[in-house]
């Protein structure tokens, strides 16, 4: 089973001496799955042997981070699974509609089967926490919980950032601590602090930008989509230290901006 080729995902810069730390592919995949709610479940067609069959599938997560499904035995994908459990689940970033090829996505491959009785209570509780409306049909006789035993994963973090992730590495990786705060941080920075983003992107890359948009943030840094004379450029900006909350992120950004402004006076 193929592994990642390096500890960190490939940065924007191509010069090895300028590389900045990023979360591993495993961490980014785990975070993406944590934030997602719906994926494309591809099963082996019973009617057309050897052909893939895709379905829209809300998913939950068990305690390890593996996907779970509440599905009807009348559904075609469930019938496919009961005949052949081999399947894949494609999940894309929630904001992928703006730039789908530049956004992160992950394909999880594995075998899907009914949830064992000993795990059923935990899977049910966690699933209903994500989907309260599912309580209306969770006890219907034709519905049952299924879960995926992961075999392998393929992660794409955007243009030029991709690689296989082992199931073991994925299951051992926690979601990024900023995962649930990410949307708020991006909205705030893009609405109120474009000048600061231009300043920090210039310090990290040497590029003179006229516009900047924060497109991603994690415990180690953030990405900026910078408008320059030649067009657009992606820049990775490292934090001064690891952060684990919105409050810590704000404090570090303020510190970085103050230091850079003092440096350029």
Nearest to 36 by CA among 196, 179, 221: 179
pLDDT over 90 at 97, yes or no: no
pLDDT over 70 at 6, yes or no: no
Rounded CA Rg of the chain? 21
Out of 159-163, 176-180, 226-230, 236-240, least confident range: 159-163
> What fold does the segment set 180-264 form as a domain?
Split barrel-like (3.20.180)
Give 187-208 pLDDT, tens digit per residue.
Answer: 999 999 999 999 999 999 999 9
CA distances from 30 to 64, 175, 212 (A): 10, 5, 27
Instruction: Say how far residue 180 (Cα) sits from the centre of its chain.
Output: 11
Nearest to 167 by CA among 111, 104, 102: 111
Q: Is 108 helix (H, G, I), strand (E, B) or coil?
A: strand
> What fold does the segment set 16-175 form as a domain?
Pnp Oxidase; Chain A (2.30.110)
Handedness of CA 140, 144, 145, 146 (dihedral sign): negative
Domain limits of the chain?
A: 16-175, 180-264
Q: Give the pLDDT of residue 7.
A: 37
Q: Give the pLDDT of residue 157.
A: 86
pLDDT over 80 at 94, yes or no: no
Q: Give the separation between CA 11 and CA 26, rounded to whole angstroms.
A: 15
Q: Are 158 and 106 in contact, with CB atoms under 8 Å apart?
A: no
Q: Are 175 and 182 in contact, with CB atoms under 8 Å apart?
A: no
Percent of the chain with pLDDT over 90: 83
Tokens of 13: 């810069």
Handedness of CA 2, 107, 31, 163 (dihedral sign): positive
Q: Give the separation between CA 13 and CA 166, rounded to whole angstroms.
A: 26
Binned at pLDDT 50, 70 and 90, residue 78 comes out as very high
Out of 6-15, 76-85, 177-186, least confident range: 6-15
Whole-prediction pTM: 0.85
Binned at pLDDT 50, 70 and 90, residue 174 comes out as very high
What's the mean pLDDT in 60-87? Answer: 97
What's the mean pLDDT in 181-185? Answer: 95
Nearest to 135 by CA among 73, 78, 70, 76: 70
Q: Give the pLDDT of residue 99.
A: 67
Q: Are 63 and 122 in contact, with CB atoms under 8 Å apart?
A: yes
pLDDT over 50 at 13, yes or no: no
Percent of the chain with pLDDT over 70: 91
């Amino acid at each position: 089973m193929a592994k990642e080729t390096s500890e960190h995902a490939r940065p924007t810069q191509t010069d090895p001496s300028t590389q900045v730390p990023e979360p591993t592919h495993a961490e980014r995949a785990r975070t993406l799955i944590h934030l997602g709610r719906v994926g494309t479940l591809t099963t082996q067609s019973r009617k057309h042997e050897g052909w893939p069959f895709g379905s829209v599938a809300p998913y939950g997560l068990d305690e390890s981070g593996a996907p779970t499904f509440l599905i009807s035995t009348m559904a075609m994908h469930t019938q496919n699974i009961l005949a052949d459990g081999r399947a894949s689940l494609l999940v894309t970033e929630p904001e992928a509609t703006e730039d789908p090829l530049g956004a992160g996505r992950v394909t999880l491959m594995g075998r899907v089967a009914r949830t064992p009785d000993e795990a059923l209570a935990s899977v049910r509780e966690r699933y209903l926490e994500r989907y309260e409306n599912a309580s209306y049909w969770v006890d219907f006789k034709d519905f049952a919980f299924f879960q995926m035993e992961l075999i392998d994963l393929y992660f794409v973090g955007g243009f030029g950032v991709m690689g296989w992730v082992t199931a073991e590495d994925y299951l051992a990786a926690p979601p990024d601590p900023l995962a649930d705060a990410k949307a708020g941080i991006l909205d705030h920075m893009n609405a109120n602090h474009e000048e600061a983003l231009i300043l920090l992107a210039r310090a990290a890359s040497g590029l003179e930008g006229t516009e900047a948009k924060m497109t991603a943030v994690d415990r180690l840094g953030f990405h900026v989509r910078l408008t320059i004379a030649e067009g657009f450029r992606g820049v990775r900006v490292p934090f001064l230290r690891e952060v684990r909350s919105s409050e810590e992120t704000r404090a570090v950004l303020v510190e970085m901006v103050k230091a850079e402004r003092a440096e350029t006076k």
